[in-house]
């Protein structure tokens, strides 16, 4: 993106006789600002919409209307009005609080949940919509998302309040319970795709809904359910919202917060809800691919009508719409669960995660591995994936040529499909 911006700027300043080289700093700074701005907007606007949506859904589930006044019949502007109210509230801090940690805690949560979007692709194909395509994107997203609990524990500790500390301790007990099954579940689609790159994980599910990882075999269906349960726990949503159990702990970890700092916790919560939902959609629900082949990525009829480049872009937009639809659908399910299920006790949370979810995920991991070994090509028709075609073409990919030259068996003999290795020579040494 940066060279494109520099090229455009070069055209602009060309009128006054100046020139900008393609690798000028200004392009990189602008590109970074644009991408950061888009992610921040997604988190903030997503938060606005989801809070309104949650109130409407809660109303419907409880047989009432929800917000109806601010901004017309459906209360569209209710969240904006709430935000204005929060802005004007006094910012309080308890005298015995640890002032530094108390101030810093909300920002850590927001920073962690927004930073995880950096590695999340919104559309795939040859030119994916992603800020930074990482080889280890799944791992990175989970690791950064794990930092969010710091904000809750620090807030709970630094408030110097009994209720807050209870909330923080519950969160601590909860985080060590759900992280194990969450990680185990995320490994299964990674194993099926043969890569931790989210773009590749999404693109191997192309073709149709029968190719989605969730429908790959019976085990992945269970794994998806376990993942979604643990993801709900990881974003502190009911029935796992023990850290802020408002009927027992006043407000839990945010008891002492008010005004904007308080709302930052909710911004973080809603944007990480969207994040884990999008991650679930990419890992299990076919990512940016529609339930039937929609002619994305420039293939099919669209490419022949408007040209490949434009078709790629349009296909990416279509994929973005698909992915967001799936993500928002999962977020709505989380809200539905929240307003229909009673809250678990802390020991029940730990029992659920450690005694049921973890063994279930482990067994399903083994089952999915066995299924993959039994039916490596799947049961139904699967179109070739660009990334993986390369693998089968460069038969002996990494170091294989070198191994052959030494008379050893190539790496493919161990039976794993490998993603192409950029930066490593695949040619035989002369």
Partner 1 sequence: MIWHSVLFTLFAAIACGFAMAVVFTSNVVRMAFYLVISLSATSGLFFLAGADFVGAMQLMIYVGGTLVLLIFGVMLTAQQRFVQMRPSRSEVLLAGLLGAALLVLLASAAVGVPTWRGSGPKAAALDEPPLTATPIALGLLGFRVDGDPDDGQNRAGYLLPFEIISVHLLVVLVGAAYLARTRLTAGSLAQQPPGGFEQDAAEDRIAEVEAIAADSPGTEGPPT
Binding site for partner 1 (CB under 8 A): 25, 28, 98, 100-101, 104, 132-136, 138-140, 142-144, 146-147, 149-150, 153-154, 157-158, 165, 168-169, 172-173, 175-177, 179-180, 183-184, 186-187, 190-191, 195-196, 347, 350, 354, 358, 398-399, 402-403, 405-406, 411, 414, 418-419, 421-424, 429
CA angle 249, 253, 259 (to 5 degrees): 110
Least distance in angstroms from the C-beta of 199 to partner 1: 12
Least distance in angstroms from the C-beta of 281 to partner 1: 19
- DSSP class of residue 356 equals I
Least distance in angstroms from the C-beta of 258 to partner 1: 22
Between residues 79 and 358, which has the closer beta carbon with respect to partner 1? 358
Between residues 105 and 314, which has the closer beta carbon with respect to partner 1? 105
Between residues 41 and 392, which has the closer beta carbon with respect to partner 1? 392
Least distance in angstroms from the C-beta of 177 to partner 1: 6
Between residues 79 and 164, which has the closer beta carbon with respect to partner 1? 164
Cα-to-chain-centroid distance, residue 232 = 13
Per the document, the length of the chain is 430
Question: HSE (CB half, 13 Å, CA atoms) of 165?
Answer: 7
Question: HSE (CB half, 13 Å, CA atoms) of 355?
Answer: 6
How is 99-146 classified by DSSP, letter by letter?
Answer: HHHHHHHHHHHHHHHHHGGGG--SB-SSS-B-SS--TTHHHHHHHHHH
Least distance in angstroms from the C-beta of 249 to partner 1: 15
Query: Would you say 124 and 283 are in contact if contact means Cβ atoms under 8 Å apart?
Result: no
Query: Would you say 182 and 231 are in contact if contact means Cβ atoms under 8 Å apart?
Result: yes
Three-state DSSP state, 328: helix
Least distance in angstroms from the C-beta of 4 to partner 1: 14
Between residues 334 and 349, which has the closer beta carbon with respect to partner 1? 349
Between residues 250 and 403, which has the closer beta carbon with respect to partner 1? 403
- DSSP class of residue 384 equals P
């Amino acid at each position: 993106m940066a060279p494109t911006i520099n090229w455009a700027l070069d055209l602009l300043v060309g009128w006054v006789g100046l020139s900008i080289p393609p690798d000028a700093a200004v392009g990189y700074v602008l590109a970074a600002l644009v991408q950061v701005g888009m992610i921040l907007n997604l988190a903030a606007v997503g938060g606005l919409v989801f809070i309104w949506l949650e109130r409407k859904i809660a109303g419907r589930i409880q047989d009432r209307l929800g917000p109806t006044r601010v901004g017309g019949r459906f209360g569209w502007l209710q969240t904006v009005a709430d935000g204005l109210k929060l802005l004007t509230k006094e910012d309080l801090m308890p005298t015995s609080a640890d002032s530094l940690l108390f101030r810093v805690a909300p920002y850590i949560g927001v920073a962690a949940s927004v930073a995880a979007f950096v590695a999340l692709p919104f559309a795939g194909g040859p030119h994916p919509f992603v800020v930074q395509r990482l080889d280890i994107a799944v791992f990175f997203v989970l690791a950064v998302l794990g930092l969010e609990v710091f904000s809750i524990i620090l807030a709970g500790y630094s408030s110097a309040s009994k209720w807050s500390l209870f909330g923080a301790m519950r969160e601590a007990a909860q985080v060590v319970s759900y992280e194990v099954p969450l990680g185990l579940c995320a490994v299964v689609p990674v194993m099926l795709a043969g890569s931790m790159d989210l773009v590749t994980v999404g693109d191997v599910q192309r073709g149709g809904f029968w190719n989605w990882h969730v429908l790959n075999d019976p085990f992945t269906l269970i794994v998806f359910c376990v993942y979604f349960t643990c993801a709900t726990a990881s974003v502190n949503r009911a029935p796992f919202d023990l850290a802020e159990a408002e009927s027992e702990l006043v407000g839990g970890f945010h008891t002492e917060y008010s005004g904007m700092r308080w709302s930052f916790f909710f911004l973080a919560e809603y944007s990480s809800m969207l994040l884990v939902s999008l991650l679930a959609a990419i890992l299990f629900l076919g990512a940016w691919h529609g339930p039937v082949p929609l002619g994305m990525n420039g293939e099919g009829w669209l490419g022949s009508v408007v040209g490949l480049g434009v078709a790629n872009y349009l296909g990416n937009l279509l994929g973005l719409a698909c992915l967001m639809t799936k993500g928002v659908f999962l977020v709505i399910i989380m809200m539905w669960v929240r307003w229909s299920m009673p809250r678990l006790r802390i020991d029940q949370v730990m029992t659920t995660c450690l005694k049921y979810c973890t063994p279930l995920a482990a067994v399903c991991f083994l089952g999915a591995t066995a299924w993959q070994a039994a039916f490596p090509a799947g049961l139904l028709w699967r179109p070739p994936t660009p990334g993986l075609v390369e693998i089968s073409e460069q038969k002996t990919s990494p170091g294989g040529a070198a191994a052959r030259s030494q008379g050893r068996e190539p790496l493919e003999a161990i039976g794993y499909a490998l993603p192409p290795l950029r930066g490593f020579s695949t040619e035989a040494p002369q």
